[in-house]
Amino acid sequence: MSTALKLNVEPLDLIITGVGGQGNVLASQVLGRALLKAGYNVTVGETFGLSQRGGAVMSMVRVTRDKTMGPLIPENRATAVVSLEPLEALRVLGAYGNSEVMVLTNDRPLMPVNVIAGASNYPDLSELKAALENLSARLYWLPATKVALELGNPILANVVMLGALVGCGLLPVGLAEIESALAEMFNEAKMPANRQALARGLELMA
């Protein structure tokens, strides 16, 4: 299956975003490994530091056949945005969106502490969804955390979203390549849950 996949956009500029602790750096690293193994030139820029302290965290995955890219996608030039939290998808579109961008987002909000404290408001989910539709060529609004909880652990939402990304047709690699990259990073005991999460993510796109 994967032999038929190819890189149709170059550079393929993906943003993986979310909140610290959701595993976005791990997801970008898995993607990077899979793409490198398939022979592509890949640059993964990670932004973290205060990442585990509840802030927004973003990784950029840039894919070409040969050319070496810098760690930052040019402003408003993302090909696709994968978001582990819906508000963060909209935040990223302000800086990196464009009328052609594809957006895949987990539909489960994580409330900022300032929202919990009543100092700011989290937008109504239908309004948030409409804004994402308005600012993207195509929106996939996905219950990744719900699926992850069904599989027993909310942290699997990042892998569910990777499965969905495989299903969106932009990647020049398939489920098998992502799975083998995951297997390089997790011990075998954790792989059944990861495999299921990938497969369930792909199903969400069917």
Partner 1 sequence: MADLTKLIPGQIALLQGNEAIARGALEAGVAFCAAYPGNPSSEILETLAESADSAGIYAEWSVNEKVALESAAAASFTGLRAMASMKQNGVNVAQDFICNLTISGSGPGGLVLITCDDPSSISSTNEQDARFIARLADLPLLEPSTPAEALAMVKFAFELSEEIRNLVVLRSVSRLSHTRAGLVPGKLPGERPKPYWDPKTSYFTMPVVPMHQKMHQKLARAGQIMAQTGFNRYEGPELPELLIIASGSSALYASEAIALLKADQKAGVLKLGCTWPLPAEMLLEHLAKTEQVLFAEEVDPFLESEIKAFYAQNVTQLGIKRFFGKASGSLASTGENSPGKLAAAIAGILGIDWRALDKDYADKATALVTALVPPREFGFCPGCPHRASYWAIKQTLAVDGRQGLVSGDIGCYSLGVLPTGFRRVNSVHCMGSGLGISSGLGQLGRFGFNQPVVSVVGDSTFYHAALPAMVNARWNQADYVLCVLDNSATAMTGFQPHPGTGQTASGQGGCKVDVESMCQALGLSYRIVDPYDLTATQEALYDALQEGGGLRVLIFRRVCALVQGRQGGHPYRMQIDQEACRGQECGCNRFCSRVFRCPGLVFDEASGVAAVDEVTCVGCGVCAQICPAGAIVAQPKEEVAA
Contact (CB, 8 A) for 156 and 193: yes
Question: Within positions 83 to 142, which residues make up the interface with partner 1, using CB under 8 A?
Answer: 87-88, 90-91, 93-94, 97-99, 108, 110-123, 127-128, 131, 134-135
32 binds partner 1 (CB under 8 A): yes
Q: Report d(CA 161, CA 148) in Å as an integer.
A: 10
Cα–Cα distances (Å) from 165 to 28, 59, 197, in that order, read: 12, 15, 12
Contact (CB, 8 A) for 14 and 61: yes
2 binds partner 1 (CB under 8 A): no
The site for partner 1, by CB under 8 A, has a size of 63
Residue with tokens 């499965």: 163
Contact (CB, 8 A) for 198 and 178: yes
Which one of 65, 71, 169, 192 is in contact with partner 1 (CB under 8 A)? 71
Of the two residues 95 and 176, which places its CB atom closer to partner 1 in the complex?
95
Q: Report d(CA 75, CA 7) in Å as an integer.
A: 22
Question: Within positions 39 to 58, which residues make up the interface with partner 1, using CB under 8 A?
Answer: 41-50, 52-56
Closest-CA residue to 191 (of 38, 3, 36, 30): 30
189 binds partner 1 (CB under 8 A): no
176 binds partner 1 (CB under 8 A): no
Stretch of residues binding partner 1 (CB under 8 A), selected from 2-10, 35-43, 167-175, 188-196? 35-43
Which one of 17, 24, 29, 158 is in contact with partner 1 (CB under 8 A)? 29
Contact (CB, 8 A) for 91 and 35: no
Closest-CA residue to 26 (of 91, 82, 65): 82
Which residues contribute to the site for partner 1 (CB under 8 A)?
A: 19, 21, 29, 32-33, 36, 41-50, 52-56, 68-77, 87-88, 90-91, 93-94, 97-99, 108, 110-123, 127-128, 131, 134-135, 145, 149, 154
